[in-house]
Structure formats: C-alpha cells, structure tokens
C-alpha cells in the first residue's frame, strides 16, 4: 500500500484552524491526511472576547468546534510537549492516559502565544489574563459578583476593594476588555441602588506614554481622552511594583486594595516553542522564511504569534502578532504545504497591515483602517461589521448576529454565575452543613444589650435612629 503523507498541525487556533480548513478544501482524496493537535476542542475567536465578557455575545458563539468544521481532519486533544526533528515525530500528552508519539511528513507549528508575565510579587497569585473564553467569562461573573458583594457588605474596606478594578497593559486586549466590562458594570449599577457608578474605580496601568498603538497616535490620544472622560483612571508611564494579597503598589506612589487584577501586558511565544529545538530570534519566536517554512527545516511550517515572519512590506521588520496576519498567513501556508506535496512553486507571504478597529463599549469605538480614522458610533459599527465578516463559519455569524439583535431589545443579564466553576459546592454543603453554618450551640453570642443593627435584623425594618 502506498504511503499517504501526514500533515500534523500543532495548535488549532487562528493559524491551525484556517490552515486545516483550506487544506481539507484543496487536498485531493488520498493525497494526504491532516491531524490537528490542540489542548482544546475549539478555536477561540479572540477579538470577540471583550464582547463575550460584557454579555453582548454568548460565550459558546465566540468559539468554533474543531470537530464540526474540520470534518475531513483528525482532531487529537492534548498537549504537544516536544518535537523530534530528526525522527519527525511529535510527542502528545492526551488529557488522560499514556503519551502518544505522532509521526509526520509535514509539520505545521502554530501553538500561538501566552501572556507575558513579569516577575512582580503577587501578580501570578492574584492576577488573571484575558486570552481565553474561560478567562473572559470568569471576569464577567467576577465583576458582577463584586457588585453583589459591594451592595451586601457594611464594611467599607471590603466594599472599596470589591469596587476597584485594575487592568495592566494598554494594548487592544486591555483597553477593549476594560472598556467593555466598565460599560457592563456601569449599566448593571441601575439594579444596585446602593452602588453608584462613581463608587467604582477602574484603573488602567500602562508602562509607556500611550495606549492602543494599533490605531495610531492620534486615535490612541483620542481613546485616552474618552476613557478619562468616563472616569477611568488611566496611568501612563506607570508600572506595577507588587500586588501581594491584592494590595496593588504602583511606582507613581499609588497604593490600593483590589479584588481584580487583569494582566494584558503583551504576549510571548508559547513555552513549547523553546522546547521545540527550532531556531529562534531574539524575542524567542521561531525564525520563519517568507514562504512560512522554518529556517533550515523545509518540512516544518510556522506562522502566527509564535513565529518571526519577515514583513516584506517593511524590509528588515517582522509581522506583528495579530489575527490580521495570522489568518492571511494561514492561507499562504496551506497553499505552500500543497505546493510542497505536489512539487510546485511556493509563494512568499506579503500583506501590508491595514490598521485596526477596537470596541470601547456599547455604541463606542475607535478605528484606523487604510489611513481612515473613525471614532464613536461609526467605528463601533465598523468593528462589528468587520468582525462579523471575519468570524469563521456561517453558523457562528448567524448566532452572533442573533445575540446582537436580542441585545437591542432586552437589557443585559446581570447574574453572576461564578458558582459554575465550583458545581459540587451545594452537594458538599448538603453532606456537611456544619462547614458553612455553625452548630447552634457554637454560634457566637453577643454580649450586652442588642444594638440598633440587631434590632433591625430582628424586626426586618430600619432601627429607630436610622429611620430619622
Ligand atoms: C482579547 C484579545 C483581542 C484580540 N483582538 C484582536 C483584534 O481585534 N485584531 C487582531 O488582529 N488581533 C487580535 N487579537 C490577537 C489575535 O487573536 C492573535 O494574534 C491570534 O489569535 C494568533 O493566532 P495563532 O494561531 O498564532 O494563536 P492562537 O489563536 O492563540 O492559537 C494557538 C492554539 O494553540 C493551542 N496550543 C498552544 N500550545 C499547545 C500545545 N502545547 N499543545 C496543543 N495545543 C496547543 C492553543 O490551545 C490555541 O488553540 C486579540 C487577542 C486577544 C487576546
């Protein structure tokens, strides 16, 4: 029986999924088999994460199930942990069971990036990133839970800590996540009579002297003014020194307690890149040729956030890590894999960065596309139209459109479903009620005469002194 070449794709994100989609369309039956290895069973459309966090889009609609769209490919879920470039094999650890060794003829290496963390005391313990749908949904539940907490406590310190939200990093992930969540929380305040929007502190800490470089200096300055006009405390040229126990200390002298620290200060190549043995540049990215093969390894292709791809429109520079490049690189990469199989000529990747669009909350946005600057509603509308046209599959487009249409007619949901991440809590309580409610005899007994608060709690109405 003749050998059918195996194309092994590491990472089912932007590059991996779009490459596999194009390969399954272009490859002839029996020409090659395609296997995609990813820790998750879905691809995440990251530009929609801020809207998912704000409750404008259902979380399930910002992810694309790999098995449904890649019906001609094999999907293996697990962590790729190492590549043997001599033997042409990939070691994969499925989430359970023994490791697997998968042979390949052509490897597409696209594990993307992870948050770039700095060794700042407390950040790894208290912080959270904003790269995955799990993080976005956790943050939505967490912010709403902080409003619930602030409305329910009488302790000023607890309240102030709950209502202080800190974001570190002013790129599009940080600015969009902060702007959308602040918009959502401000809107939710109408259901919390004891929480005024002005009681909340939203702080953006940025180490350089500008935010949102993706939309250019003018639009970045405009965005800064807009955020400050909304009461958001944007601190430029400022770094976080520590966040131990949620006590945030800044190098401009600022110091406060916060229950929310979101880390969006850039990305670095996935740790698998260093373990791969592939040649790296000074930023730890895989050195790619313009044809998207790895330098010195013609059977290994790479692209996306993990790769240093030469930007042919700006000689001497490499492409920035963004979806705009990742999607287009995937197209060229897939065509070059087909060319490698058929022995035909490969193409070089070339794309001039078109600019960027960012959402700053409902009906507010900023954009710079092909030199055209847009702000406010037109930019927000463009953001939605552009991403709707880009989100993969017709099915997802329709679902996102329905979410947006429903949001026009109904108010946002304000329930925190944070307990979803701990579903056994109630069952454990049923088994061991004493874990939450002390036995009657053990309850603390107040000494002396009951105060006004105790009287209020017994009668259910405000104490006389407070009624006045
Ligand atoms: C909040 C946010 C908003 C953004 N908005 C925009 C925007 O508006 N415009 C824009 O151009 N760009 C945007 N980006 C950037 C864009 O999403 C990324 O540049 C793009 O996802 C990079 O694609 P990739 O394929 O390299 O990596 P990814 O899409 O991250 O895919 C990598 C995949 O590899 C998998 N993986 C990693 N390691 C392993 C392993 N060891 N084993 C198995 N699987 C593994 C991961 O699970 C993941 O599925 C945004 C990013 C974020 C976080």
Annotate 112-131 with DSSP letters as a single string.
Answer: -EEE-----TTHHHH-B-SS
Pocket test of ligand 1: the residue of 111, 329, 390 to mutate, having most ligand atoms within 8 Å of its CB, is: 111
Give the span between the Cα atoms of 34 and 32, in whole angstroms: 7
Ligand 1 site, residue 220, Cβ cutoff 6 A: no
Low-confidence stretches of the chain (pLDDT beneath 70): 1, 419-420, 438-468
pLDDT the model gives residue 439: 66
Q: Closest Cα to residue 376, out of 362, 365, 360, 361?
A: 365
Pocket test of ligand 1: the residue of 63, 288, 326, 355 to mutate, having most ligand atoms within 8 Å of its CB, is: 326
Ligand 1 site, residue 127, Cβ cutoff 6 A: no
Q: What are phi and psi of 65, to 5 degrees?
A: -65, 120
- Token pair, residue 57, equals 């889009």
Give the span between the Cα atoms of 446 and 454, in whole angstroms: 10
Q: How far is CA 190 from CA 157, 200, 236, 412, 442, in A?
A: 22, 13, 31, 11, 39
pLDDT the model gives residue 369: 86
State the DSSP string of 207-245.
SSS-S-GGGHHHHHHHHHHHHHHTT-EEETT--EEE-GG
pLDDT the model gives residue 429: 76
Give the span between the Cα atoms of 466 and 341, in whole angstroms: 81
Ligand 1 site, residue 110, Cβ cutoff 6 A: yes
Under 8 Å CB-to-CB from 293, ≥6 apart: which residues?
Answer: 299, 300, 301, 302, 336
**Average pLDDT across the chain, whole number:** 90
Answer whether 187's CB lies under 8 Å from 151's CB: no
Ligand 1 site, residue 265, Cβ cutoff 6 A: no
Ligand 1 centroid distance, CA of 248 (Å) = 29
Ligand 1 site, residue 381, Cβ cutoff 6 A: no
Ligand 1 centroid distance, CA of 37 (Å) = 15
Q: Closest Cα to residue 242, out of 228, 268, 261?
A: 261
Ligand 1 site, residue 174, Cβ cutoff 6 A: no
pLDDT the model gives residue 236: 97
Ligand 1 centroid distance, CA of 410 (Å) = 32
Q: What are phi and psi of 376, to 5 degrees?
A: 70, -140
Give the span between the Cα atoms of 321 and 306, in whole angstroms: 8
Ligand 1 site, residue 323, Cβ cutoff 6 A: yes
Q: How far is CA 420 from CA 45, 51, 80, 423, in A?
A: 22, 20, 29, 5
Residue carrying structure tokens 């405000």: 462
Ligand 1 centroid distance, CA of 58 (Å) = 19
pLDDT digit string (tens) for 129-170? 999 999 999 999 999 999 999 999 999 999 999 999 999 999
Give the span between the Cα atoms of 32 and 72, in whole angstroms: 11
pLDDT the model gives residue 441: 53
77: enclosing H helix or E strand:
strand 74-84
Residue carrying structure tokens 């897939």: 334
- Token pair, residue 178, equals 């902060």
pLDDT digit string (tens) for 403-452? 999 888 887 777 777 766 777 777 777 777 777 776 665 555 444 444 44
b/e per residue 100-118 (b: at least 16 CB within 10 A): eebebbbbbbbbbbbbeee
Answer whether 394's CB lies under 8 Å from 401's CB: no
pLDDT the model gives residue 428: 78
- Ligand 1, atom 49, lies closest to the CA of 13
Which atom of ligand 1 lies at the shortest distance from residue 324's CA? 11
Which atom of ligand 1 lies at the shortest distance from residue 49's CA? 1
pLDDT the model gives residue 455: 41
Ligand 1 site, residue 310, Cβ cutoff 6 A: no
pLDDT the model gives residue 443: 53
Ligand 1 site, residue 122, Cβ cutoff 6 A: no
- Residue 333: burial class (beta carbons within 10 Å; 0-12, 13-18, 19+): buried
Under 8 Å CB-to-CB from 155, ≥6 apart: which residues?
Answer: none
Ligand 1 site, residue 49, Cβ cutoff 6 A: yes
Ligand 1 site, residue 387, Cβ cutoff 6 A: no
pLDDT the model gives residue 216: 86
Ligand 1 site, residue 38, Cβ cutoff 6 A: yes
Ligand 1 site, residue 79, Cβ cutoff 6 A: yes
Ligand 1 site, residue 135, Cβ cutoff 6 A: no
pLDDT digit string (tens) for 170-181? 998 999 999 999
Ligand 1 site, residue 12, Cβ cutoff 6 A: yes
Ligand 1 site, residue 270, Cβ cutoff 6 A: yes
Ligand 1 centroid distance, CA of 52 (Å) = 16
Ligand 1 centroid distance, CA of 305 (Å) = 7
Query: 3-state SS of the chain: helix, strand, coil percent to 5?
Result: 40, 25, 35
Ligand 1 site, residue 112, Cβ cutoff 6 A: yes
Ligand 1 site, residue 202, Cβ cutoff 6 A: no
Which atom of ligand 1 lies at the shortest distance from residue 267's CA? 53
pLDDT the model gives residue 451: 41
Ligand 1 centroid distance, CA of 134 (Å) = 14
242: left (phi over 0), alpha (psi -120 to 50) or beta: beta
- Token pair, residue 379, equals 């930019």
pLDDT the model gives residue 422: 77
Answer whether 40's CB lies under 8 Å from 20's CB: no
């Amino acid at each position: 029986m003749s050998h059918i070449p195996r194309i092994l794709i590491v990472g089912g994100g932007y590059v991996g999924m779009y490459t596999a989609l194009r390969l399954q369309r272009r490859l002839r039956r029996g020409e090659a088999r395609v296997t995609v290895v990813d820790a998750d069973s879905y691809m995440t459309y990251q530009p929609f994460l801020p809207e998912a966090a704000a409750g404008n889009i259902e979380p399930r609609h910002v992810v694309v199930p790999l098995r449904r769209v890649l019906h001609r490919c094999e999907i293996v879920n697990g962590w790729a942990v190492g590549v043997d470039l001599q033997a042409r094999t990939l070691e994969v650890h499925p989430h359970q069971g023994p490791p697997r060794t998968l042979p390949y003829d052509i490897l597409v290496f696209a594990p993307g990036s992870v948050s770039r963390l700095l060794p700042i005391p407390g950040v790894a313990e208290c912080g959270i990133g904003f790269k995955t749908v799990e993080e976005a949904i956790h943050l939505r539940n967490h912010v709403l839970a902080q409003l619930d907490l602030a409305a329910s406590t009488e302790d000023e310190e607890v309240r102030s800590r709950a209502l202080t939200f800190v974001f570190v990093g002013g790129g599009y992930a940080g600015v969009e996540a902060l702007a959308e969540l602040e918009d959502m929380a401000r809107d939710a305040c109408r259901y919390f009579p004891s929480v005024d929007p002005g009681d909340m502190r939203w702080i953006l800490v940025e180490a350089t002297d500008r935010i949102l470089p993706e939309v250019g200096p003018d639009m970045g300055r405009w965005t800064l003014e807009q955020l400050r006009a909304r009461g958001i405390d944007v601190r430029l040229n400022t770094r976080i020194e520590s966040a131990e126990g949620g006590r945030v200390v800044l190098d401009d002298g600022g110091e406060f307690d916060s229950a929310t620290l979101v880390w969006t200060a850039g990305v670095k190549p996935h740790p698998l890149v260093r373990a791969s043995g592939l040649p790296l540049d000074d930023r730890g990215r895989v050195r790619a040729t313009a044809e998207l093969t790895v330098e010195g390894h013609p059977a290994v292709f790479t692209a996306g956030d993990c790769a240093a791809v030469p930007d042919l429109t700006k000689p001497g520079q490499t492409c920035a890590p963004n979806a705009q490049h990742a999607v287009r690189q995937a197209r060229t990469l897939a065509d070059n894999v087909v060319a490698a199989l058929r022995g035909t000529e490969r193409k070089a990747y070339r794309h001039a960065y078109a600019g960027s669009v960012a959402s700053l909350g409902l009906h507010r946005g900023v954009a710079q596309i092909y030199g055209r600057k847009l702000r406010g509603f037109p930019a927000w509308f463009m953001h939605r139209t552009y991403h709707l046209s880009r989100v993969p599959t017709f099915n997802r487009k329709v679902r996102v459109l329905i979410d947006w249409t429903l949001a026009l007619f109904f108010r946002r949901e304000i329930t925190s479903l944070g307990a979803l991440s701990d579903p056994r809590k109630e069952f454990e309580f049923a088994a061991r009620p004493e874990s939450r409610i002390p036995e009657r005899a053990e309850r603390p007994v107040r000494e002396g005469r009951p105060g006004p608060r105790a009287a209020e709690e017994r009668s259910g109405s405000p104490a006389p002194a407070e009624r006045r």
